[in-house]
Amino acid sequence: MANKEISDGLQWPFGPKNYLIFGAGMISIILGYITLAYTAPDPIPGDNSWPQLLLTISPALLVIGYCFLIPMSIIVRGRESEPSGAKADS
């Protein structure tokens, strides 16, 4: 009986909103590393604008993923806890 009382009081604090934000952060990070890998020094002869664009986008995607989305997925309240008075006494 004591184990049931202890386990009833503990809940996983993350909800679907947290996982959605975390997934967006992971996609941002993966895309950042993929675009960083394609910044070869002149993949298209005569056109130097494409690598420069990727060199600008890559760090931005990585910063957004690591510094904003992943921390927000931890900070945002995913599951609302039950108010203490709403629980019926059994």
Asked if the structure places residue 54 within a domain, the reply is yes
Its domain, for residue 60, covers: 14-75
How many distinct structural domains can be found in the chain? 1
**Mean pLDDT computed over 31-53:** 74
9 band by pLDDT with thresholds 50, 70 and 90: low
Asked if the structure places residue 36 within a domain, the reply is yes
Q: In the chain, pLDDT over 70 holds for what percent of residues?
A: 64
Asked if the structure places residue 30 within a domain, the reply is yes
Asked if the structure places residue 3 within a domain, the reply is no
Asked if the structure places residue 5 within a domain, the reply is no
**Mean pLDDT computed over 5-20:** 79
State how far the Cα of 85 lies from the Cα of 71, in Å rounded to an integer.
32
Asked if the structure places residue 6 within a domain, the reply is no
State how far the Cα of 31 lies from the Cα of 37, in Å rounded to an integer.
10
54 band by pLDDT with thresholds 50, 70 and 90: confident
